[in-house]
Homo-oligomer: A and B are copies of this chain.
Amino acid sequence: MIVVLKQNAKKEQVNSIKQWLEKMGVSVHQIEGLHTTVLGLIGDTSVVDMDQISSNPAVESVKRIQEPYKNANRKFHPNDTVVDVCGHKIGGGHFQVIAGPCSVECEEQITEVAQKVKASGATLLRGGAFKPRTSPYAFQGLRAEGIELLLKAKAQTGMPIVTEIMSTDHLPLFKDVDVIQVGARNMQNFELLKELGKIDKPILLKRGLANTIEEFLMSAEYIMAGGNQNVILCERGIRTFETATRNTLDISAVPILKKLSHLPVVVDPSHASGLTWLVEPLSKAAIAAGADGLIIEVHNNPKMALSDGAQSLTPEMFDDVMQPIKRMVEFEGKILG
């Protein structure tokens, strides 16, 4: 960590800062420049609170050099984490396609979609029971009933299920869910992350709309610091000025996350683009960039879908898209399913 002092910092102030930093267990190197004095902090600086240092009136700025996350950091865990979902592995060369509707609507719908996406090659079933909707007047999901319907679809098809949690209150309802999804809007719902750190179910953590890669890894760190190492990272697009797509898929995030962290990375081309016809090229790009999986919206009657219809593929369109996906996964030397 580098602490840049103000031009007019007094000697007593500088000494007082140095002593205070040394009390935290880091050693301090002072460099005198022409106009500026800089302190170099050496030791375990992950315990040092940057904000606290910045608040000192003699400090101009503080720059962190080491990553502030440990559990999620590849430097300390060089090998890929492989998350196992009922025998389906993600990461370390294993690739999974998660598919299903944005909202679970009724038993026929979810079971039919499950059977069809399974036949096309998907291995995990996603479906929304609790739905975060911008408008209070929009369909909010079937909630507890939705999870029951997902479990019925699992019983019929054998597909493990992935569904989103929106509140720690609902955690008991998720006891038979295979993968708990944390949505983009809850990426920094820290109370929820802490609770998910206490269980050992795989967590699919989606990147927030306006969160940096570092903040994303810090949210994974919240879960992992609690003891749950089964975190799957999901890039789903960030918010930018561009309006041609719903969000901007940050494709660079895939190789960067894979380099900085050992956790598996999946991509959500449906939410990233908001447009069905972009699912194929973005899925291919994600695989080419190193992703360990995809999560794709599929609905059996998207023109009547109760949420996010515009980006949902029909099962037939999904089957078409799965062909180039399979070829690309094979080309990249990964094992699908």
Q: Is the CB of A281 within 8 A of B288?
A: yes
**Which residues of B lie under 8 Å from residue A34 when comparing CB positions?**
42-44
Q: Determine the residue in chain B with the shortest Cβ distance to A269.
A: B252
Which single residue of chain B is at the shortest CB-CB distance from A260? B244
Contact with B along A146-189 (1 / 0, CB 8 A): 00000000000000000000111110000000000000011011
Interface residues on A, range: 35 or more
Q: Which residues 256-287 in A have Cβ within 8 Å of B in the complex? A: 256, 259, 272-273, 277-278, 281-282, 284-287
Contact of A190 among B66, B133, B191, B306 (CB under 8 A): B133
List which A75-109 residues lie within 8 A (CB) of chain B: 75
CB distance from A194 to the nearest CB of B (A): 8
Q: Tell me if B63 and A2 are in contact (CB < 8 A).
A: yes
Known: A40-B31, A210-B209, A306-B52. A137 touches B225 (CB 8 A): yes
Q: How far is the CA of A254 from the CA of B251 in the complex (A)?
A: 12
Q: Is A29 among interface residues, defined by CB-CB distance under 8 A?
A: yes
What is the bound-complex CA distance between A121 and B69, given in angstroms?
A: 41
Chain B residues with Cβ under 8 A from A189's Cβ? 166-167, 185-186, 189
- CB pair B44 A33 closer than 8 Å: no
Tell me whether B303 and A138 are in contact (CB under 8 A).
no
A312 CA / B253 CA spacing, docked (Å): 20
Residues of B within 8 A of A192 (CB): 167
A281 partner, pick from B33, B290, B309, beta carbons under 8 A? B290
Q: In the assembled complex, how far is the CB of residue A166 from the closest CB belonging to chain B, in whole angstroms?
A: 5
Q: Is A12 interfacial (CB 8 A cutoff)?
A: no
Protomer copies: 4
In the complex, what residues of B have CB within 8 A of residue A296's CB?
Answer: none
A112 CB within 8 Å of chain B = no
- The yes or no answer to A213 lying at the interface (CB within 8 A) is yes
CB contact between A251 and one of B68, B130, B243, B251 (< 8 Å): that residue: B251
A209 CA / B133 CA spacing, docked (Å): 18
- Check B166 against A242 for contact (C-beta < 8 Å): no
Contacts of A43 in B (CB 8 A): 33-34
- In A16-70, which residues have CB < 8 Å from any B CB? 29, 31-36, 38, 40, 42-44, 46-47, 49, 51-52, 54-57, 61, 63, 65-66, 68-69
B243 and A212 within 8 A (CB): yes
A292 in the interface (beta carbon within 8 A): no
User: Which B residues are in CB contact (< 8 Å) with A303?
Assistant: 52, 55-57
Q: For the complex formed, measure the closest distance between the CB of A299 and the CB atoms of chain B, giving whole angstroms.
A: 8
Q: Which residue of B lies closest to A284 (CB)?
A: B288
B188/A132 in contact, CB under 8 A: yes
| Set of chain B residues within 8 Å of A243, measured between Cβ atoms | 212, 243
Q: Is the CB of B252 within 8 A of A302?
A: no
Partner of A256, one of B239, B244, B252: B244
Check if A295 is an interface residue, CB within 8 A of chain B: no
Please give me the 4 A-B residue pairs with the lowest Cβ-Cβ distance, nearest first: A55-B309, A210-B210, A54-B310, A288-B288
Can you list 19 residue pairs at the A/B interface with Cβ under 8 Å? Answer: A33-B42, A47-B137, A52-B305, A55-B303, A57-B302, A136-B190, A166-B190, A166-B191, A212-B242, A212-B243, A214-B244, A240-B240, A240-B250, A244-B252, A244-B256, A251-B251, A252-B282, A284-B288, A287-B288
